[in-house]
């Protein structure tokens, strides 16, 4: 049996992967490459999309702007893409 900390970390990693995949899906649906997201480096975006880290509020704002959305609308789209 794994310690609780290990299980929590696995859940977090799984969430980060789904979250990143949703962000990638929306970007690709909009026909944008990673280099076309103003305000984020390709490396930063790659790490977010691969689930290595979560997006900061400024990263989410940059992604929303690139898709022509406000941050709240963008987050609603991310949530739908995760479902």
b or e along 37-71 (b: 16 or more beta carbons within 10 Å of the residue's beta carbon)? beebeeebbebbbebeeebeeebbebbbebbebee
pLDDT tens across 30-77, in order?
A: 999 999 999 999 999 999 999 999 999 999 999 999 999 999 999 999
* CA–CA distances in Å: residue 22 to residues 2, 27, 49, 57, 62: 29, 9, 8, 16, 15
What is the CATH architecture of 4-82? Answer: Orthogonal Bundle (1.10)
Q: What is the pTM of this model?
A: 0.84
For residues 82 and 22, the answer to whether their CB atoms sit within 8 Å is yes
Domain ranges of the chain: 4-82
DSSP 55: P
Helix (H) or strand (E) holding 32: none
């Amino acid at each position: 049996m794994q310690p609780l900390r290990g299980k929590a970390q696995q859940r977090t990693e799984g969430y980060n992967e789904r979250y990143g995949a949703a962000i990638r899906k929306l970007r690709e649906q909009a026909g944008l490459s990673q280099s076309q997201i103003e305000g984020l480096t390709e490396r930063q975006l790659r790490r977010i999309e691969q689930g290595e880290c979560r997006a900061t509020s400024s990263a989410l704002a940059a992604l929303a702007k690139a898709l022509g959305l406000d941050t709240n609308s963008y987050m609603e789209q991310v949530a739908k893409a995760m479902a």
